[in-house]
């Protein structure tokens, strides 16, 4: 199912005033994504709705809707441009796990690691316990080597290996 967002009003947007604006925009888009696996938005319209600059929308999409978060983002620039956000079905498509793996940078922050693990949990690829154990192993405390860059590289390698294994398992199913 595909939903094109032009002027959809989502109940509860005004109730989110207490939290951070980026969180509000993320919650709004995710609420719409619950109704459809794919949406198309116009950056300027969402920016007007939340009374922010369009670059704020770019920031939210880049940091919260990437492959590591379980989403595929496409954009078309120009007058009739749009941003398409597609919720990835990780379990059924090993190519999407591979895309998630390839999108990881060489140095991964704990926040990015948490986003990857959360996506895998949300897609029921990992159990809650497995996710919590992995996050413990990927934590700053567990990887304390005295150098944040080395710590990020180790975290990236561990996530790469996890995604390789999951991709292999999904190809066998």
**CATH for 104:** 1.10.1200
Q: How far is CA 25 from the centre of its chain?
A: 14
Give the closest residue to 116 by CA, choosing from 95, 138, 94, 83.
Answer: 138
Indicate yes or no: pTM above 0.85.
no
CATH classification of the domain holding 66:
3.30.56.130
- Total domains in the chain come to 2
Q: Which residues of 18-35 are buried (b: 16+ CB within 10 A; e: fewer)?
A: eeeebebbbbbbeebbee
Determine the structural domain holding residue 144 and report its residue range.
94-172
Would you say residue 5 has pLDDT above 50? no
Percent of the chain with pLDDT over 90: 38
Q: What's the pLDDT tens digit per position in 98-149?
A: 878 888 999 999 999 998 898 888 878 889 999 999 999 999 999 999 999 9
Same domain, yes or no, for 58 and 100?
A: no
Which of 69, 87, 105 marks a domain boundary?
87
Which of 72, 87, 102 marks a domain boundary?
87
d(CA 2, CA 125): 24
Same domain, yes or no, for 10 and 74?
A: yes
């Amino acid at each position: 199912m595909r939903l094109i967002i032009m002027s959809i009003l989502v109940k509860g947007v005004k109730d989110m005033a207490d939290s951070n604006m980026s969180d509000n925009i993320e919650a709004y888009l995710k609420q719409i994504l619950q109704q459809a696996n794919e949406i198309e938005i116009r950056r300027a319209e969402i920016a007007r709705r939340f009374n922010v600059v369009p670059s704020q929308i770019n920031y939210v999409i880049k940091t919260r809707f990437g492959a590591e978060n379980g989403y595929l983002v496409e954009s078309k620039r120009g007058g009739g441009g749009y941003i398409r956000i597609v919720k990835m079905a990780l379990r059924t498509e090993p190519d999407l796990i591979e895309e998630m793996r390839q999108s990881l940078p060489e140095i991964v922050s704990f926040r990015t690691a948490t986003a990857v693990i959360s996506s895998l949990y949300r897609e029921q690829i990992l159990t809650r316990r497995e996710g919590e154990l992995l996050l413990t192993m990927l934590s700053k405390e567990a990887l304390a080597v005295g150098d944040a860059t080395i710590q990020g590289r180790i975290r990236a390698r561990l996530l790469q290996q996890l995604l390789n294994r999951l991709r292999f398992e999904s190809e066998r199913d």
